[in-house]
């Protein structure tokens, strides 16, 4: 493995450590007459793999506290939790080479790759395992421990099997260009309508629900969210609504049916648009709403819109395109119009990530999370008045847990609708996202923006009509 490959992996690995690892690799490769030690597993008995693994685990994971997990190796050997602790989950290692791929240069991406291709599994509380992943991809393990483990990890077999199932995305073209954004969105959303329908709510709303009680069912919470959006926008009969990134049409059909508005939704996913159109026809709403395959930069409507919503699409825009995004929505709004922008945000205090993450490669290509302070600054720069900002972070934790449980309950059907690797990708993503939102690493905000007319916002003095 080249030195630069290890350095680029992040996780606090220094160039000196990388060089030491490479020296260990070369020494191991030539210790037995110039042949790699692990070229033939028969030269290194299987029980030695187990013993080596049991020697490595305390060095790499022994410092995690509380050590409330267990590790089960491929032969059934268990390294249990520390005394007095109950295992919240068990890390199940399926083959010796998994230890090399997981721990030699651990990153979010390398661990994700190992999981989706079956190197390991998590039994028990999947969400809890992400704290452990943070530990051994971050600064929790010292350089000395990593260097000590490197020659032992290199004794395990490498895996040259070609990956099967869903492959990592390969986006081409300038970042956030029309062509590249279309490919990125299609990579995520065009998996299968049947796949998403198994674990989303009945309207297939693919953004955080809005709960009045943590025990509430997903369908009820998603309908409440749609109603909440309509109230925040203060939609009235006869108004024109644009939904940017409309998904399967949940909001446009709900708004047209309950508020008697003219609703237009746009998406870059043709399968989404086709299913949305089918549902619109089934509801008998063809004369009041429609869904088109269109990018927000391609919307040209001289008559304009009274209200605009963007719910869960903002993450695809990119920081470099924010002025274009808010400038476009400003021009599309009629004077006095209202724009509700709903999107996931990063923390301003976080250090930018080095290199691609698992989510970048397998889930949301080119996704770009920006702090809410950046979003609001650009929106104001483009002329909007910020009237309200609300965090729905805890609601998203509950939503993601619902999605994960529903995927688990329909796992067999999900594999038929997609494939095993795709199912494992979403299993990992949904559980990991629940963890990231729970600890506050990510947030989700609704920002209510107004195109004031001569200082007149059209906003009432209180929020009472949102809740009454």
Sign of the CA dihedral running 348, 351, 355, 361: negative
Confidence of residue 174 (pLDDT cuts 50, 70, 90): very high
CB 58 within 8 A of CB 80: no
Q: Residue 6: how many CB atoms within 10 A of its CB?
A: 23
Residue located via tokens 């690797």: 421
Helix (H) or strand (E) holding 358: helix 358-362
269 Cβ contact list (under 8 Å, min separation 6): 185, 186, 189, 190, 293
Res 41: pLDDT = 37
The tokens of 407 are what? Answer: 């995927």
Across the beta sheet with 240-244, the strand order is 289-293, 262-267, 240-244, 305-311, 333-345, 443-450, 385-391
Query: Which of 9-23, 239-253, 414-428 shows the lowest per-residue confidence on average (mean pLDDT)?
Result: 9-23
| 45-49, 61-65, 380-384: which is most confident | 380-384
Query: Which of 100-109, 276-285, 369-378 shows the lowest per-residue confidence on average (mean pLDDT)?
Result: 100-109
Helix (H) or strand (E) holding 253: helix 250-259
pLDDT in tens, 207-237: 999 999 999 999 999 999 999 999 999 999 9
Strands 120-124 and 89-93, sheet pairing: antiparallel
Question: Rounded to whole angstroms, how far apart are CA atoms 352 and 91?
Answer: 29
Query: Which of 39-48, 157-166, 184-193 shows the lowest per-residue confidence on average (mean pLDDT)?
Result: 39-48
Look up the pTM and report it. Answer: 0.89
Of residues 14 and 191, more confidence is placed in 191
Q: What average pLDDT does the segment 396-415 reach? A: 98
Helix (H) or strand (E) holding 101: helix 97-103
Does residue 12 have a pLDDT over 70? no
Q: What average pLDDT does the segment 413-426 reach? A: 96
CB 332 within 8 A of CB 305: yes
Does residue 338 have a pLDDT over 90? yes
Question: Rounded to whole angstroms, how far apart are CA atoms 186 and 354?
Answer: 25
Q: Which domains does the chain have, with CATH numbers?
A: 3-153 (3.30.1050), 178-467 (3.40.50.150)
Does residue 14 have a pLDDT over 60? no
CB 419 within 8 A of CB 232: no
Confidence of residue 139 (pLDDT cuts 50, 70, 90): confident
Summary mean pLDDT of the chain = 89
Q: Residue 453: how many CB atoms within 10 A of its CB?
A: 12
Instruction: Say whether the peptide bond before residue 66 is cis (omega within 30 degrees of 0).
Output: yes
Confidence of residue 34 (pLDDT cuts 50, 70, 90): very low
CB 355 within 8 A of CB 109: yes
333 Cβ contact list (under 8 Å, min separation 6): 304, 305, 306, 308, 339, 451
Does residue 52 have a pLDDT over 60? yes
Name the 3-class secondary structure at 461.
Answer: coil
Does residue 17 have a pLDDT over 90? no
29 Cβ contact list (under 8 Å, min separation 6): 35, 36, 37
CB 307 within 8 A of CB 232: no
Res 46: pLDDT = 59
Q: Which phi and psi angles does 213 have, rounded to 5°?
A: -150, 135
Closest alpha carbon to 343 in 312, 370, 385: 312
Does residue 36 have a pLDDT over 80? no
Res 33: pLDDT = 33
Q: Which phi and psi angles does 70 have, rounded to 5°?
A: -125, 160
């Amino acid at each position: 493995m080249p030195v630069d490959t290890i350095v680029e992996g992040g996780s606090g690995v220094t160039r000196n450590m990388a060089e030491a690892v490479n020296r260990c690799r070369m020494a191991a490769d030539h210790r037995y007459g110039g042949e790699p030690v692990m070229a033939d597993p028969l030269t290194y008995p299987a029980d030695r793999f187990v013993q080596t693994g049991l020697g490595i685990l305390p060095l790499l994971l022994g410092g995690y506290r509380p050590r409330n997990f267990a590790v089960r190796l491929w032969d059934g050997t268990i390294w249990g939790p520390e005394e007095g602790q109950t295992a919240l989950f068990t890390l199940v290692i399926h083959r010796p080479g998994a230890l090399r791929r997981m721990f030699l240069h651990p990153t979010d991406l390398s661990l994700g790759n190992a999981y989706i291709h079956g190197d390991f599994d998590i039994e028990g509380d999947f969400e809890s395992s992400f704290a452990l992943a943070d530990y051994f991809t971050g600064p929790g393990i010292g350089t000395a421990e990593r260097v000590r483990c490197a020659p032992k990890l290199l004794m395990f077999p490498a895996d040259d099997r070609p990956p099967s199932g869903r492959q990592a995305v390969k986006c081409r073209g300038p970042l956030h260009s029309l062509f590249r954004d279309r490919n990125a969105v299609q990579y995520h959303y065009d998996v299968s309508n049947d796949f998403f329908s198994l674990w989303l709510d009945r309207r297939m709303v693919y953004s955080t629900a809005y709960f009045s009680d943590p025990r509430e069912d997903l369908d009820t919470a998603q309908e409440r969210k749609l109603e909440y959006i309509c109230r925040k926008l203060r939609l009235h009969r006869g108004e024109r609504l644009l939904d940017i990134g409309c998904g399967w049409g949940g909001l446009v059909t709900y708004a047209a049916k309950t508020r008697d508005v003219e609703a237009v939704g746009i998406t870059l996913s043709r399968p989404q648009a086709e299913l949305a159109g089918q549902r619109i026809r089934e509801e008998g709403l063809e004369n009041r709403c429609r869904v088109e395959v269109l990018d927000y930069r391609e919307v040209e409507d001289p008559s304009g819109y009274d209200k605009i919503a963007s719910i869960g699409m903002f993450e695809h825009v990119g920081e470099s395109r924010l002025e274009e995004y808010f400038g476009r929505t400003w021009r599309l709004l009629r004077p006095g119009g209202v724009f509700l922008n709903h999107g996931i945000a990063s923390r301003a205090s976080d250090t930018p990530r080095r290199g691609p993450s698992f989510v970048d490669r397998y889930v949301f290509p080119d996704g770009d999370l920006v702090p809410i302070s950046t979003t609001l600054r650009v929106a104001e720069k483009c002329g909007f008045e910020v009237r309200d900002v609300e965090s729905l972070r805890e609601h998203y934790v509950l939503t993601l847990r619902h999605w994960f449980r529903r995927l688990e309950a329909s796992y067999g059907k999900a594999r038929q609708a997609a494939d095993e690797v795709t199912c494992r990708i979403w299993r990992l993503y949904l559980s990991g996202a629940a963890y990231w939102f729970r600890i506050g690493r990510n947030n989700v905000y609704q920002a209510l923006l107004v195109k004031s007319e001569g200082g007149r916002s059209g906003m009432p003095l209180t929020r009472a009509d949102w809740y009454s």
